[in-house]
């Protein structure tokens, strides 16, 4: 797909993060389809694209994961501006911040100026872990549990698929029912928005907590692009600078269906049923 000739791309910017290539939970096939139909001027990779932590534990790298990297490199080659902000799971790449590799700009964080002039702080989000103050033990249990839940979710998804049901995430379903998870998310959102507000910016764009969302926090717009482990979501900016969330799970959500950027809502994004 060539994006340069013909009419201007439909979207100005697309933000994705928490892809976790090299991790079993990664929904690489959906992402691949999403990237192959992407009609945008710029793509921002907001961290945890490759899961180096998981790769250190188990060698897992199916062909689709290489295809995702290839697709991103091809987009850059074809003229899309691609910016990569490494996260904590791909922290090793932070050493490369400030450089450009294969046409991809690598940054620790940066300020995104939207089409309407609004300025957003873009960063992965692990910077706010300390502010969220969840104990180390809880965090370790959380990560182990998350792996198990994702595994169980894949089993269920396999059965659902066989019976013709669409994409569904067990982890998302569980999180929406656990008050502690909601509190954690709320604290994170406030910490991120506060940081942007402190710098006189209009908003913050991040990932990290695998919870897509757009909400106003005391006059600062908090935007989280979600992930490609549970939600298969992206944050998109249209040509007027309006931000919205999209999910792409192949079932019925074509990127084209996104044209009028959906009205933002503070509620967690529903997955395609
Ligand atoms: Mn992260």
Q: Which residue has the higher pLDDT, 21 or 144?
A: 21
Which of 48-62, 97-111, 129-143, 182-196 ranks highest by mean pLDDT? 97-111
What is the 89 CA–ligand 1 centroid distance (Å)? 6
Average pLDDT, the chain: 85
Q: Choose among 97, 143, 101, 103: nearest CA to 123.
A: 97
What is the 82 CA–ligand 1 centroid distance (Å)? 19
Architecture of domain 11-258: 4-Layer Sandwich (3.60)
Percent of the chain with pLDDT over 70: 85
Residue list, CB under 5 A from ion ligand 1 = 48, 87-88, 208
Q: Which residue has the higher pLDDT, 150 or 50?
A: 50
Q: What is the structure's pLDDT at 266? A: 37
Please give the biggest Cα pair distance in the chain. 54
Q: Where are the domains of the chain?
A: 11-258
What is the 48 CA–ligand 1 centroid distance (Å)? 5
The rounded radius of gyration (Å) of the Cα atoms in the chain is: 18
Q: Which residue has the higher pLDDT, 8 or 215?
A: 215
Decide: helix, strand or coil at residue 21.
strand
Residue 114, pLDDT above cutoff 80? yes
What is the 201 CA–ligand 1 centroid distance (Å)? 23
Query: Contact, 39 vs 11, CB < 8 A?
Result: yes
Tokens of 201: 């910016």
What is the 2 CA–ligand 1 centroid distance (Å)? 31
Query: Contact, 250 vs 30, CB < 8 A?
Result: yes
Q: Choose among 44, 48, 113, 130: nearest CA to 80.
A: 44
Mean pLDDT of all residues in 147-154: 83
What is the 32 CA–ligand 1 centroid distance (Å)? 21
What is the 108 CA–ligand 1 centroid distance (Å)? 13
What is the 253 CA–ligand 1 centroid distance (Å)? 26
Mean pLDDT of all residues in 146-171: 81
What is the 161 CA–ligand 1 centroid distance (Å)? 28
What is the 47 CA–ligand 1 centroid distance (Å)? 7
């Amino acid at each position: 797909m060539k994006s340069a000739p013909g009419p201007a791309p439909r979207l100005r910017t697309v933000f994705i993060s928490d892809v976790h290539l090299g991790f079993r939970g990664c929904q690489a096939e959906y992402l691949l389809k999403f990237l192959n139909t992407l009609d945008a001027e710029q793509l921002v990779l907001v961290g945890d694209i490759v899961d180096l932590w998981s790769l250190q534990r188990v060698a897992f790298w199916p062909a689709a994961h290489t295809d995702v990297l290839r697709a991103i490199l091809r987009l850059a080659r074809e003229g899309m501006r691609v910016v990569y902000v490494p996260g904590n799971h791909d922290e090793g790449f932070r050493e490369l911040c400030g450089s450009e590799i294969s046409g991809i700009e690598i940054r620790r964080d940066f300020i995104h100026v939207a089409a309407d002039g609004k300025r957003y702080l873009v960063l992965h989000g692990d910077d706010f872990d300390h502010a969220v103050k969840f104990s180390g033990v809880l965090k370790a249990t959380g990560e182990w549990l998350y792996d198990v839940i994702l595994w169980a979710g894949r089993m269920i998804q396999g059965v659902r698929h066989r019976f013709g049901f669409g994409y569904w995430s067990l982890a998302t379903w569980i999180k929406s029912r656990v008050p502690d998870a909601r509190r954690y998310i709320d604290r994170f959102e406030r910490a991120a928005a506060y940081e942007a507000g402190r710098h006189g910016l209009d908003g913050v764009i991040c990932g990290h907590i695998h919870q897509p969302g757009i909400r106003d926090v005391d006059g600062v717009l908090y935007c989280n692009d979600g992930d490609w482990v549970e939600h298969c979501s992206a944050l998109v900016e249209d040509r007027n600078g309006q931000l919205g969330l999209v999910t792409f799970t192949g079932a019925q959500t074509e990127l084209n269906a996104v044209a009028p950027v959906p009205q933002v809502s503070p509620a967690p994004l529903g997955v395609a049923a």
